[in-house]
Amino acid sequence: MHHPLRILQIVPSISLVYGGPSQMVLGLSKALAAEGVEVTVLTTDSNGDVGQPPLDVPLDRPIDQEGYQIRYFRCSPFRRYKFSLGLLRWLANHTGEFDLAHIHALFSPISSLSANVARSKQLPYLLRPLGTLDPADLQKKKALKQIYAALLERPNLAGAAAVHFTSPQEAKVSERFGVITQDLVIPLGVNWQKPNPTDSTVAFNTALQNLGIPHQQDIPLVLFMSRIDPKKGLDLLFPALEKLLAEGLKFHFVLAGGNPQDPEYERRIRTQVQESTLAAHSTLAGFVTGDSKTALLQAADLFVLPSYYENFGIAVAEAMAAGVPVVISDQVHIWEDIKQAEAGWVSACEVNALTEQLRAAIQSAPERQRRGTNAQAHALKHYSWQAIAQQTIQAYRQILGGG
């Protein structure tokens, strides 16, 4: 191919409200652009499902960002479902300007109909399900999803040049509705700059003070930093931590994250911590970003995410890149990598099993240190955006017959 690859990335929203998986499109686009790919991101101005104002962005015009372009479209007529007629119309008129579309999220009308448009215009496309084909996720709104799958997602999967999974485990458990698919397994990347020790110490201490977190050398900081959602296993984590406190183990627990789409659940979780024995040993940090997030990752001695299902676990990869060992469940689909690299501890989704792994991790500072070093080495090698961009470009070229 003589011209640079021209790739469309289509995602319902890139608002922070929707968490890591959609934000990852920006990391991928920047990394692809750095390798000479012409990238255009198509998305909507959606910024949450419960009354938040839309993103304050210029609509339907290209915005240059870190080597690639983003085009935002107004959510209309259905705000709640991140739907945009304008985006679909633009796509139908401009498919000829691109070699391939990489479509992120299934069971989202904008993604499903974009695949439909691409097919009708003979533009090859990849689908990245973001965990939506996980049998556990398909149980939610099951009847509706069966109809939706039959009408839209089954033909979309059948017509896709490939399906992009982020771990072998995600590919293994995913439902295909009887369709044989070409599978690509390419992990997600992490953005992690090693902080400069002199510049970062002040920022680090200030950020911890602002969050009200005591930092004592001999008391390990146990960090949960993810979306506060029922699937994240907090109902396993709290009893496990309470047991360890009752045994006399010393640690400080930080719960960082929010859920703007379900503020009621978030409020219940916060109340649960405040009314438990954890209250005196915990900080509820809320949703963190920027310097606060970096400081928390620097300060953490242990990162914990005992999810019931997690197609990749971007927060886990970020913690690893920062040199923090992790305690995760065997339903976080990169658990095999963690086990092999000796980058942390893996537990079944069960309170006693989780308690056991947390106990082992909290009790041994040398073991945390060793596994944290392994975690960082693994993340920087396998989850660097440059390596992932190169794998992705190779996949695009194979699909397009360019070897």
Q: What are the structure tokens assigned to 253, written together?
A: 């627990």
What is the dihedral sign for C-alpha 197, 202, 207, 209? positive
DSSP 231-248: GG-HHHHHHHHHHHHHTT
Contacts of 293 (CB under 8 A, 6+ apart): 225, 256
Q: What's the mean per-residue pLDDT of the chain?
A: 88
Q: What are the structure tokens assigned to 295, written together?
A: 């400081």
* 63-65 and 68-73 beta bridge pairing: antiparallel
Residue 1 pLDDT > 50: no
Residue 311 pLDDT > 90: no
Question: In whole angstroms, what is the distance from residue 160 CA to residue 157 CA?
Answer: 5
- Determine the CATH number of domain 197-382: 3.40.50.2000
Question: In whole angstroms, what is the distance from residue 13 CA to residue 248 CA?
Answer: 45
> Which of the four pLDDT bands, split at 50, 70 and 90, describes residue 97?
very high
pLDDT in tens, 257-300: 988 778 899 999 999 999 999 999 999 999 888 888 888 898 89
Three-state secondary structure call for residue 80: coil
* 221-225 and 252-256 beta bridge pairing: parallel
Closest among 111, 34, 19, 96 to 65, alpha carbons compared: 34
Residue 237 pLDDT > 80: yes
Crossing angle of the two packed helices 365-382 and 351-363, in degrees rounded to 10: 100
- Type and span of the H or E element at 128: strand 125-128
Per-residue confidence (pLDDT) for residue 305, from 0 to 100: 97
- Type and span of the H or E element at 256: strand 252-256
- Type and span of the H or E element at 322: none
Residue 164 pLDDT > 80: yes
Question: In whole angstroms, what is the distance from residue 62 CA to residue 42 CA?
Answer: 10
Q: What are the structure tokens assigned to 67, written together?
A: 């080597």
pLDDT in tens, 378-390: 998 888 899 899 9
Per-residue confidence (pLDDT) for residue 278, from 0 to 100: 95
Average pLDDT over residues 36-63: 88
Closest among 2, 27, 16, 20 to 392, alpha carbons compared: 27
Contact 252, 222 (CB under 8 A): yes
Beta partners for residue 70, in sequence order? 41, 63
Residue 188 amino acid letter = L
Per-residue confidence (pLDDT) for residue 342, from 0 to 100: 97
Residue 335 amino acid letter = W
Token pair 């971007």 is found at: 314
> Which of the four pLDDT bands, split at 50, 70 and 90, describes residue 17?
low
Average pLDDT over residues 232-249: 96
Average pLDDT over residues 26-45: 95
Q: At residue 71, what are phi and psi to the nearest 5 degrees?
A: -120, 120
Residue 177 pLDDT > 90: no
Hey, how many other C-beta atoms are within 10 angstroms of the C-beta on 369? 13
Per-residue confidence (pLDDT) for residue 364, from 0 to 100: 95
Contact 177, 152 (CB under 8 A): no
Q: What one-character DSSP code corresponds to residue 16? A: G
Q: CATH 3.40.50.2000: which residues of the chain?
A: 6-189+384-399, 197-382
Q: Provide, for the chain, the percentages of residues in helix, strand and coil under a 3-state DSSP scheme, each rounded to the nearest 5.
A: 45, 15, 35
Percent of the chain with pLDDT over 70: 92
For 193-233, give the secondary structure using H, E and C.
CCCCHHHHHHHHHHHHHHHCCCCCCCCCEEEEECCCCHHHC
Q: What are the structure tokens assigned to 3, written together?
A: 């011209």
Residue 83 pLDDT > 50: yes
Residue 15 amino acid letter = S
Per-residue confidence (pLDDT) for residue 217, from 0 to 100: 72
Q: Architecture of 6-189+384-399 per CATH?
A: 3-Layer(aba) Sandwich (3.40)
Residue 135 pLDDT > 80: no
pLDDT in tens, 204-220: 677 777 777 876 778 99
Q: List C-alpha distances in Å: 66 to 9, 30, 36, 384.
A: 15, 6, 12, 17
Residue 241 pLDDT > 50: yes
Residue 19 pLDDT > 70: no
Residue 168 pLDDT > 60: yes
> Which of the four pLDDT bands, split at 50, 70 and 90, describes residue 78?
low
Higher pLDDT, 229 or 370: 370
pTM beyond 0.75: yes
> Which of the four pLDDT bands, split at 50, 70 and 90, describes residue 195?
low
Contact 54, 75 (CB under 8 A): yes
> Which of the four pLDDT bands, split at 50, 70 and 90, describes residue 310?
confident
- Type and span of the H or E element at 103: strand 100-104
Closest among 12, 123, 128, 117 to 72, alpha carbons compared: 12
